[in-house]
Amino acid sequence: MTRVFSGVKPTGHLTLGNYLGAMRRWAAVDQHRSDALFCVVDLHALTVDHDPARVRRLSRQAASLLLAAGLDPELCTVFVQSHVDEHARLSYVLECVATDGEMRRMIQYKEKAARERGGSVRLSLLTYPVLMAADILAYGTDEVPVGDDQTQHVELARDLAVRFNQRYGHTFVVPRATGPAVAARVMNLQDPTSKMGKSEDTGPGIVYLLDEPDVVRKKVMRAVTDSGRDVVYDREERAGLANLLEILAACTGGDPAELAGGYDSYGALKKDTAEAVVETLRPVRERHKELCADPGYVEGVLEDGAGKARAMARPTVDAAYRGIGLLPPAGASR
């Protein structure tokens, strides 16, 4: 059976971008047709300035939202990265296969490091893609369902798998990224040239999964468009409009270009998009509220998930340790 792995960072409240670009598909498709693991990748949240209490809170919330979005622990494995040592264990070995030049070429690193403007950047921000490769490779993952922004990182995981296998013998499955048909990159409603990212400042351009319906409506109605009057789907020239059409298409199952033909005003399009988003998020919010009333349930899911994940990762990580030349501890089975 195909092995699927994906993750979400607890660096901020989860957004409509996370949902349409990744989580919704994990719940609707991936968990049903594959042997899938979904992870709250908390170690990754430590690569930028962080507040420990907030990371803990957001990790719990992200886990509840994964379940609220429809991940079913009977069908897939949901867990927290730091509960399974194999990720960090494998990451070090992969650092011995990756090069610093490769790390410095990562777009996300360049962007985030540039934002620091001369301030210091954590070393873990540079090595982050190696940890991500470890997340993926430890489980013999075939497919990594992610939004557009992660494809370069998955490519790196592929490169490291191939290189390791060539040098030290076949150990890793070579994974590939899979993306959604629409909404692979949901853009910020106030700045349609940049991604709707949860780690950015809270702003009117970001729809959070737990926003109240009226807040969602307000954010969508105030989305930046452009001065044109006709409704056409053109990602290059009419980015704000294209973003709304893609969001509407993703929520209603339509095609952005076809949907454009049905509107002759921005106002009507925004109104329908706002309602479509509210309806799409409604069941997630409701289920999240139920789960918050039962924190023991979520904790139990995470504990079982970590146990299952550990058992799955261990043999592959052990094989990598042996392959690269580390002496097995006395008494370890060969």
Residue ranges that bind ligand AMP, judged by CB under 6 A: 8-9, 17-18, 21-22, 146-147, 149-150, 184-186, 195-198
CB 14 within 8 A of CB 62: yes
Determine, following the binding rule CB under 6 A, whether residue 12 of this chain makes contact with ligand TRP.
Answer: no
Cα separation, 62 vs 68, in Å, equals: 9
Residue 9 annotated as catalytic? no
Pairing of strands 176-178, 143-145: parallel
What is the C-alpha to C-alpha distance for residues 274 and 248, in angstroms, rounded to an integer? 8
What is d(CA 35, CA 170) in angstroms, rounded to the nearest whole number?
A: 22
Query: For ligand AMP, which is the closer residue by CB, 208 or 321?
Result: 208
Residues forming a β-bridge with 177: 144
Q: Which of 331, 328, 316 is nearest to 90 (CA)?
A: 316
- C-alpha to C-alpha distance for 329 and 143, rounded to whole angstroms: 32
Give burial (CB, 10 Å; 0-12/13-18/19+) of 49: exposed
Per the DSSP assignment, residues forming a β-bridge with 208 are: 15
Q: How far is the CB of 312 from ligand AMP (least distance, A)?
A: 21
Choosing from 93, 125, 132, 278, the residue that interacts with ligand TRP (CB under 6 A) is: 132
The listed partner (ligand TRP, ligand AMP, none) that binds 21, CB under 5 to 8 Å by sort, is ligand AMP
Judged by CB under 6 A, does residue 44 bind ligand TRP?
Answer: yes
136 binds, among ligand AMP, ligand TRP, none (CB under 5 to 8 A by kind): ligand TRP
Closest to ligand AMP by CB, 6 vs 316, is 6
- Residues near 159 by beta carbon (within 8 Å), at least 6 away in sequence: 102
Of all residues in the shown chain, the one whose CB is closest to ligand TRP is: 7
Please tell me the distance from the alpha carbon of residue 171 to that of residue 137, in angstroms, as a whole number.
Answer: 9
Q: Which listed range, 23-31, 129-137, 220-228, 270-278, lies at the site for ligand TRP (CB under 6 A)?
A: 129-137
Using the rule CB under 6 A, give the single segment among 6-14, 236-244, 246-254, 278-286 that binds ligand TRP. Answer: 6-14
Contacted entry of ligand TRP, ligand AMP, none for residue 127, CB cut-off 5 to 8 Å set by kind: none
Residues making contact with ligand TRP (CB under 6 A): 5-7, 9, 41, 44, 132, 135-136, 144, 146, 150, 153
Q: Give me the active site residues, please.
A: 112, 195, 198
